[in-house]
Amino acid sequence: MDGRETGELKTTIDQISMANSTVFSDEIIPGSSFASFASSGGSIFDMSDNNQRGSGFMDLLGFQDFNMPPSLFDFSSSQTTSSSSSSMMMVMMPPHHQQQQQPPLASPTSTPTAVALPERESTTSEVLNGSTAPTTPNSSSISSSSNEAAANKNEDQTTTKAQDEEADEQNQDPEKTQKQLKPKKKNQKRQREPRFAFMTKSEVDNLDDGYRWRKYGQKAVKNSPYPRSYYRCTTAACGVKKRVERSSDDPSTVVTTYEGQHTHPSPIMPRGTMGIAPLPDQPSAFSSSPFGVQQLLPHHHYQQQQQQQQPQYSYIYSSAPSLNISSPAYGGGAFNPSSFSTGLLQERYNFGSPSSSSSAVSNLLRDHGLLQDIVPQIRKEAKEEDHLHQ
DNA sequence: CGCGTTTGACCAGCGC
DNA sequence: GCGCTGGTCAAACGCG
């Protein structure tokens, strides 16, 4: 939108470029962990490179404290089906570029803040509560499915909306019964949860991530023949949503965007984690770690699998004003894309292709769906980069 | 009957 | 103000 956001996008493209072991030196956001990492010449995306020294991408993000397990990326299992090669890219989408609000994780030098991708929605200019605290599950107020989204925003909005609804009930206005949509007040801009997106090569749109989702909408995507589906976690009091769309340019690529944070463990225990107790410092499968259940796996397992499979994943990561990864809220992280985290992405991922990292990048860059909204400039610049490589 | 999907309508935000 | 677009709602429907 403006130059500032452009700069932020630029930072993102810098990080993407690192997938090809190319580190751009320009316009890295000062103070970001990505910036510091990028300036040090590291390669975020090539996990195989990091295997040798035992520091992967998640380490760089500060996720090493979560014992980022391999199961999450163990997509070459027997459950793998059709896709022979698959790649994955994550994008965390913040409400805005406010950063550095989250306290550091155990490793202060790897705080996963850094890249603030621009928020397309109008959530940024107005911070309703002005708080860095993450949204808090309001279990008492989320009983009506029609208000889950609002209840998931923030308490101020929830309260206001509840009051509105209460007023509506008292008024019993016949006009209201005509359309009960929208007791939303003006001047209350939608507060969006931190978002977390990743791309996968899959023939199935709706990835089985261990949570139960209910589809509540579908929209045609501009410039894409494929629709975008909207899902909401079916668990009561959990307002996590996800959007799934297929890339128009690469129909084999599915872009899944999670929004919000599960307030409950996955109803389905992930494969390979059954019966494994949480680590002492990890109170639950859905807390602490942005990748939830995976953290239950021993770290050596992670390393071992890395060495065996040499997976290569590509990420785009950014933080958010309310993205407080180490916050105690929800028992650990304010942002907990645990829908992704269950390690149950029983989708057809096949990491391990030496080119998957760059292909993931290119997939992202080609996408004209959700990610186009998110990181439009990434595509542009990476295409330029592609040309340079060709 | 419960749960999930489909789908048209509606709403809010944004750009012009 | 108007139109476009993304996002959401909720009735209708399907399925087990």
CA end-to-end distance (rounded Å), chain A? 31
User: Is there contact between A222 and strand C, defined as CB under 7 Å from any strand atom?
Assistant: yes
Predicted local distance difference test score (pLDDT) of residue A387:
52
Q: Which of A219-228, A315-324, A325-334 has the highest mean pLDDT?
A: A219-228
Q: Which nucleotides of B are covered by protein (CB under 7 A)?
A: 3-15
Residue A172: phi and psi, rounded to 5, are 50, 40
Q: In CATH, what number does A202-259 get?
A: 2.20.25.80
Q: Kind of pairing, strands A253-259 and A314-316?
A: unpaired
Which residue gives the smallest C-alpha to C1' distance to B10? Answer: A181
Chain A 113..172 CB hits on strand B (< 7 A): 121-122, 125
User: Is there contact between A277 and strand B, defined as CB under 7 Å from any strand atom?
Assistant: no
Which residue gives the smallest C-alpha to C1' distance to B9? Answer: A179
In this complex, the nucleotide whose C1' atom is nearest to the CA atom of residue A186 is B12
Length of chain A: 390
Predicted local distance difference test score (pLDDT) of residue A287:
37
For residues A77 and A382, give the distance between their C-alpha atoms in angstroms, rounded to a whole number: 31
The integer distance in angstroms from the CA atom of A18 to the C1' atom of B11 is: 41
User: Is there contact between A215 and strand B, defined as CB under 7 Å from any strand atom?
Assistant: yes
Q: Which of A38-42, A51-55, A60-64, A335-339 has the highest mean pLDDT?
A: A335-339
The integer distance in angstroms from the CA atom of A230 to the C1' atom of C16 is: 24
User: Is there contact between A145 and strand C, defined as CB under 7 Å from any strand atom?
Assistant: yes
Domain boundaries, chain A: 202-259
For residues A66 and A307, give the distance between their C-alpha atoms in angstroms, rounded to a whole number: 19
Residue A104 is classified by DSSP as: P
User: Is there contact between A219 and strand B, defined as CB under 7 Å from any strand atom?
Assistant: yes
User: Is there contact between A218 and strand B, defined as CB under 7 Å from any strand atom?
Assistant: yes
Which residue gives the smallest C-alpha to C1' distance to C4? Answer: A222
Which has the closest alpha carbon to A263: A238, A234, A283, A226? A238
Q: Which three-class secondary structure state does DSSP give residue A216? A: strand
Query: With bands split at pLDDT 50, 70 and 90, how would you rate the model's confidence at A120?
Result: very low
Using one digit for the tens of pLDDT, what is the confidence trace for A286-311? 333 333 333 333 333 333 333 333 33
Region A326-339 average pLDDT: 36
User: Is there contact between A122 and strand C, defined as CB under 7 Å from any strand atom?
Assistant: no
Q: Tell me the Cα Rg of chain A.
A: 20
Mean pLDDT (chain A, rounded): 45
For residues A307 and A316, give the distance between their C-alpha atoms in angstroms, rounded to a whole number: 23
